[in-house]
Amino acid sequence: MSNQPWSQDEFRQRLYEKGRFYHIHHPFHLAMNGGNSTKQQVQGWVANRYYYQAIIPVKDAAIMANCNDAAIRRKWIQRIIDHDGCGDGNDGGLEAWLRLGEAVGLEREAVTSFHHVLPGVRFACDAYLNFARNASWQEAACSSLTELFAPTIHQKRLEGWPEHYPWIEPKGYEYFRKRVREARVDVEHGLKITLNHFQTRAQQEKALTILQLKLDILWSMLDAMEMAYVFEKPPYHNCN
Ligand SMILES: O=C(O)c1cc(C(=O)O)c2c(n1)C(=O)C(=O)c1cc(C(=O)O)[nH]c1-2
Protein backbone atom coordinates (compact mmCIF):
# COMPACT_ATOMS: atom_id res chain seq x y z
CA MET A 1 0.00 0.00 0.00
CA SER A 2 1.31 3.39 -0.95
CA ASN A 3 0.98 4.95 2.51
CA GLN A 4 3.08 2.25 4.20
CA PRO A 5 6.33 3.62 5.60
CA TRP A 6 9.47 2.71 3.69
CA SER A 7 11.90 0.44 5.49
CA GLN A 8 14.92 2.31 6.90
CA ASP A 9 17.03 0.91 4.07
CA GLU A 10 14.63 2.12 1.41
CA PHE A 11 14.24 5.51 3.11
CA ARG A 12 18.04 5.86 3.27
CA GLN A 13 18.29 4.91 -0.39
CA ARG A 14 15.71 7.54 -1.36
CA LEU A 15 17.66 10.18 0.54
CA TYR A 16 20.83 9.15 -1.29
CA GLU A 17 19.01 9.24 -4.64
CA LYS A 18 18.58 12.97 -4.14
CA GLY A 19 22.30 13.19 -4.93
CA ARG A 20 21.36 13.46 -8.59
CA PHE A 21 20.27 17.04 -7.88
CA TYR A 22 23.42 17.99 -5.95
CA HIS A 23 25.16 21.19 -7.03
CA ILE A 24 28.13 19.11 -8.18
CA HIS A 25 26.04 18.83 -11.41
CA HIS A 26 25.47 22.58 -11.79
CA PRO A 27 27.17 23.99 -14.92
CA PHE A 28 29.14 26.45 -12.78
CA HIS A 29 30.56 23.58 -10.73
CA LEU A 30 31.14 21.36 -13.76
CA ALA A 31 33.19 24.13 -15.34
CA MET A 32 35.08 24.85 -12.12
CA ASN A 33 35.91 21.20 -11.40
CA GLY A 34 36.75 20.57 -15.04
CA GLY A 35 39.38 23.33 -15.01
CA ASN A 36 37.38 25.61 -17.28
CA SER A 37 36.77 28.55 -14.94
CA THR A 38 38.62 31.83 -15.11
CA LYS A 39 40.47 33.25 -12.12
CA GLN A 40 37.70 35.81 -11.70
CA GLN A 41 35.05 33.06 -11.63
CA VAL A 42 36.95 31.06 -9.01
CA GLN A 43 37.44 34.21 -6.94
CA GLY A 44 33.73 35.04 -7.28
CA TRP A 45 32.77 31.58 -6.06
CA VAL A 46 35.14 31.73 -3.07
CA ALA A 47 33.94 35.20 -2.05
CA ASN A 48 30.26 34.31 -2.38
CA ARG A 49 30.61 30.97 -0.65
CA TYR A 50 32.04 32.72 2.39
CA TYR A 51 28.55 33.99 3.09
CA TYR A 52 27.35 30.37 3.25
CA GLN A 53 30.32 29.46 5.45
CA ALA A 54 29.52 32.29 7.84
CA ILE A 55 25.85 31.27 8.05
CA ILE A 56 26.56 27.62 8.88
CA PRO A 57 27.66 27.96 12.53
CA VAL A 58 24.83 30.45 13.18
CA LYS A 59 22.44 27.92 11.64
CA ASP A 60 23.88 25.19 13.88
CA ALA A 61 23.46 27.40 16.93
CA ALA A 62 19.79 27.89 15.93
CA ILE A 63 19.35 24.13 15.74
CA MET A 64 20.84 23.76 19.22
CA ALA A 65 18.64 26.54 20.56
CA ASN A 66 15.58 24.57 19.39
CA CYS A 67 16.84 21.26 20.77
CA ASN A 68 15.90 20.10 24.27
CA ASP A 69 17.99 16.92 24.12
CA ALA A 70 21.37 17.37 25.83
CA ALA A 71 22.86 14.27 24.20
CA ILE A 72 22.12 15.70 20.76
CA ARG A 73 23.46 19.15 21.69
CA ARG A 74 26.66 17.61 23.06
CA LYS A 75 27.35 16.18 19.60
CA TRP A 76 25.93 19.01 17.53
CA ILE A 77 28.17 21.60 19.20
CA GLN A 78 31.12 20.03 17.40
CA ARG A 79 29.80 21.51 14.15
CA ILE A 80 30.10 25.01 15.56
CA ILE A 81 33.63 24.29 16.80
CA ASP A 82 34.53 22.86 13.38
CA HIS A 83 33.70 26.19 11.74
CA ASP A 84 34.52 28.71 14.45
CA GLY A 85 37.54 26.93 15.95
CA CYS A 86 38.28 26.84 19.65
CA GLY A 87 41.84 28.15 20.05
CA ASP A 88 44.59 25.68 20.93
CA GLY A 89 45.74 25.49 17.33
CA ASN A 90 42.21 24.77 16.04
CA ASP A 91 41.49 27.81 13.89
CA GLY A 92 38.28 26.41 12.42
CA GLY A 93 36.73 26.31 8.98
CA LEU A 94 35.98 30.01 8.63
CA GLU A 95 39.65 30.82 9.06
CA ALA A 96 40.57 28.02 6.64
CA TRP A 97 38.13 29.51 4.12
CA LEU A 98 39.75 32.94 4.49
CA ARG A 99 43.10 31.29 3.74
CA LEU A 100 41.49 29.81 0.64
CA GLY A 101 40.44 33.36 -0.22
CA GLU A 102 44.04 34.54 0.10
CA ALA A 103 45.25 31.55 -1.90
CA VAL A 104 43.04 32.59 -4.83
CA GLY A 105 44.22 36.18 -4.56
CA LEU A 106 41.50 37.84 -2.49
CA GLU A 107 42.21 40.23 0.37
CA ARG A 108 40.72 39.06 3.66
CA GLU A 109 38.75 42.25 4.00
CA ALA A 110 37.20 41.76 0.53
CA VAL A 111 35.86 38.40 1.74
CA THR A 112 34.85 39.21 5.32
CA SER A 113 33.07 42.40 4.28
CA PHE A 114 30.74 40.31 2.05
CA HIS A 115 31.35 43.03 -0.50
CA HIS A 116 31.14 40.61 -3.45
CA VAL A 117 28.13 38.62 -2.22
CA LEU A 118 25.38 38.59 -4.82
CA PRO A 119 21.79 39.20 -3.68
CA GLY A 120 20.67 35.78 -4.95
CA VAL A 121 23.38 34.06 -2.88
CA ARG A 122 22.43 36.09 0.17
CA PHE A 123 18.74 35.21 -0.19
CA ALA A 124 19.49 31.52 -0.62
CA CYS A 125 21.74 31.35 2.44
CA ASP A 126 19.34 33.41 4.53
CA ALA A 127 16.56 30.98 3.55
CA TYR A 128 18.65 28.16 5.01
CA LEU A 129 19.16 30.03 8.26
CA ASN A 130 15.48 30.98 8.51
CA PHE A 131 14.45 27.40 7.86
CA ALA A 132 16.69 26.17 10.69
CA ARG A 133 15.35 28.83 13.05
CA ASN A 134 11.70 28.01 12.40
CA ALA A 135 11.70 24.24 11.82
CA SER A 136 12.00 21.57 14.49
CA TRP A 137 15.61 20.60 15.24
CA GLN A 138 15.04 17.20 13.63
CA GLU A 139 13.82 18.82 10.41
CA ALA A 140 16.75 21.23 10.45
CA ALA A 141 19.13 18.30 11.03
CA CYS A 142 17.59 16.63 7.97
CA SER A 143 18.26 19.74 5.89
CA SER A 144 21.99 19.38 6.55
CA LEU A 145 21.97 16.04 4.72
CA THR A 146 23.21 17.50 1.45
CA GLU A 147 26.48 16.85 3.23
CA LEU A 148 25.96 13.21 2.26
CA PHE A 149 27.30 14.25 -1.11
CA ALA A 150 29.88 16.81 0.03
CA PRO A 151 32.97 14.60 0.63
CA THR A 152 32.97 13.71 -3.10
CA ILE A 153 32.86 17.35 -4.16
CA HIS A 154 35.67 18.35 -1.78
CA GLN A 155 37.75 15.36 -2.90
CA LYS A 156 37.29 16.26 -6.55
CA ARG A 157 38.60 19.77 -5.86
CA LEU A 158 41.63 18.35 -4.04
CA GLU A 159 42.37 16.05 -6.94
CA GLY A 160 41.74 18.42 -9.85
CA TRP A 161 42.36 22.00 -8.82
CA PRO A 162 46.15 21.91 -8.23
CA GLU A 163 46.59 20.83 -11.85
CA HIS A 164 43.82 22.99 -13.33
CA TYR A 165 44.65 26.12 -11.39
CA PRO A 166 48.41 26.17 -10.65
CA TRP A 167 48.06 29.83 -9.63
CA ILE A 168 46.15 28.82 -6.46
CA GLU A 169 48.53 28.66 -3.48
CA PRO A 170 48.53 25.18 -1.89
CA LYS A 171 47.67 26.59 1.58
CA GLY A 172 44.16 27.15 0.22
CA TYR A 173 43.35 23.46 0.09
CA GLU A 174 43.26 22.82 3.83
CA TYR A 175 39.56 23.67 4.05
CA PHE A 176 38.59 20.91 1.62
CA ARG A 177 40.87 18.35 3.33
CA LYS A 178 39.33 19.19 6.70
CA ARG A 179 35.74 18.93 5.41
CA VAL A 180 36.22 15.51 3.83
CA ARG A 181 36.80 14.21 7.38
CA GLU A 182 34.26 16.38 9.20
CA ALA A 183 31.39 15.95 6.74
CA ARG A 184 31.53 12.17 7.17
CA VAL A 185 31.04 12.52 10.93
CA ASP A 186 28.25 15.08 10.47
CA VAL A 187 26.25 12.96 8.07
CA GLU A 188 26.47 9.84 10.18
CA HIS A 189 24.81 11.76 13.01
CA GLY A 190 22.35 13.68 10.80
CA LEU A 191 21.31 10.51 9.01
CA LYS A 192 20.70 8.66 12.27
CA ILE A 193 18.47 11.48 13.54
CA THR A 194 16.54 11.56 10.25
CA LEU A 195 16.04 7.81 9.93
CA ASN A 196 14.76 7.61 13.51
CA HIS A 197 12.61 10.72 13.52
CA PHE A 198 10.74 10.51 10.20
CA GLN A 199 8.75 7.33 10.77
CA THR A 200 5.47 7.44 8.87
CA ARG A 201 5.36 7.50 5.09
CA ALA A 202 4.11 11.10 5.16
CA GLN A 203 6.99 12.11 7.44
CA GLN A 204 9.51 10.30 5.25
CA GLU A 205 8.18 12.12 2.21
CA LYS A 206 8.47 15.38 4.15
CA ALA A 207 12.15 14.58 4.82
CA LEU A 208 12.72 14.24 1.08
CA THR A 209 11.02 17.61 0.53
CA ILE A 210 13.28 19.19 3.14
CA LEU A 211 16.37 17.73 1.48
CA GLN A 212 15.10 19.06 -1.86
CA LEU A 213 14.71 22.53 -0.33
CA LYS A 214 18.37 22.46 0.66
CA LEU A 215 19.37 21.23 -2.80
CA ASP A 216 17.37 24.14 -4.24
CA ILE A 217 19.28 26.55 -1.98
CA LEU A 218 22.68 25.27 -3.13
CA TRP A 219 21.63 25.24 -6.79
CA SER A 220 20.19 28.76 -6.61
CA MET A 221 23.46 30.09 -5.20
CA LEU A 222 25.26 28.84 -8.30
CA ASP A 223 22.55 30.17 -10.63
CA ALA A 224 23.27 33.64 -9.25
CA MET A 225 27.02 33.14 -9.72
CA GLU A 226 26.57 31.78 -13.26
CA MET A 227 24.54 34.83 -14.20
CA ALA A 228 27.08 37.26 -12.73
CA TYR A 229 30.41 35.66 -13.58
CA VAL A 230 29.76 33.48 -16.66
CA PHE A 231 27.05 35.40 -18.52
CA GLU A 232 28.46 38.62 -17.04
CA LYS A 233 24.99 39.87 -16.20
CA PRO A 234 25.11 40.68 -12.50
CA PRO A 235 22.05 42.34 -10.95
CA TYR A 236 21.32 45.77 -12.46
CA HIS A 237 23.96 45.33 -15.21
CA ASN A 238 21.60 47.04 -17.66
CA CYS A 239 20.44 49.84 -15.36
CA ASN A 240 21.82 53.32 -15.65
O1 LIG B 1 31.60 22.86 -0.88
C2 LIG B 1 30.51 22.30 -0.94
O3 LIG B 1 30.01 21.90 -1.99
C4 LIG B 1 29.78 22.15 0.33
C5 LIG B 1 28.45 21.76 0.38
C6 LIG B 1 27.80 21.68 1.61
C7 LIG B 1 26.42 21.19 1.59
O8 LIG B 1 26.16 20.21 0.87
O9 LIG B 1 25.56 21.77 2.23
C10 LIG B 1 28.50 22.03 2.79
C11 LIG B 1 29.87 22.35 2.65
N12 LIG B 1 30.47 22.41 1.45
C13 LIG B 1 30.68 22.66 3.77
O14 LIG B 1 31.88 22.90 3.61
C15 LIG B 1 30.11 22.66 5.07
O16 LIG B 1 30.80 22.93 6.04
C17 LIG B 1 28.73 22.39 5.20
C18 LIG B 1 27.89 22.39 6.32
C19 LIG B 1 26.65 22.11 5.84
C20 LIG B 1 25.38 22.08 6.56
O21 LIG B 1 24.34 22.04 5.89
O22 LIG B 1 25.39 22.11 7.80
N23 LIG B 1 26.69 21.95 4.51
C24 LIG B 1 27.96 22.09 4.09
Q: What is the pLDDT of residue 107?
A: 97
Asked if residue 3 belongs to a domain, the reply is: no
Q: Does residue 150 fall inside a structural domain?
A: yes
Q: Is residue 226 part of a domain?
A: yes
| Predicted pLDDT at 10 | 98
Please report, for the domain that includes residue 125, its CATH number.
1.20.910.10
Look at the pTM and tell me if it is higher than 0.95.
Answer: yes
- Domain residue limits at 31: 8-230
Q: What DSSP line would sit under 183-234, residue for residue? A: HHHHHHHHHHHHHHH--SHHHHHHHHHHHHHHHHHHHHHHHHHIIIIIS---
**What is d(CA 55, CA 57) in angstroms, rounded to the nearest whole number?**
6
The alpha carbon dihedral of 109, 217, 225, 118 has a sign of negative
Q: How far is the CA of 238 from the centre of ligand 1 (A)?
A: 33
Contact between 79 and 151 (Cβ < 8 Å): no
- Distance between Cα 56 and ligand 1 center (Å): 8
Instruction: Say how many Å lie between the first and final Cα of the chain, rounded.
Output: 60
Percent of the chain with pLDDT over 70: 100
Residue 1 within a domain: no
pLDDT tens, 169-185?
999 999 999 999 999 99
Q: Classify 33 as helix, strand or coil.
A: helix
pLDDT tens-digit readout, 37-86: 999 999 999 999 999 999 999 999 999 999 999 999 999 999 999 999 99
Residue 239 lies in a domain: no
For residue 1, what pLDDT is reported? 55
- Between the CA of 217 and the centroid of ligand 1 the distance, in Å, is 11
Residues with pLDDT less than 50, the chain: none
The protein residue with its alpha carbon nearest to ligand 1, atom 4, reads 150
pLDDT for the residue 155: 96
* pLDDT value of position 122: 98
Structural domains of the chain, count: 1
What is the number of the ligand 1 atom nearest to the C-alpha of 186?
A: 22
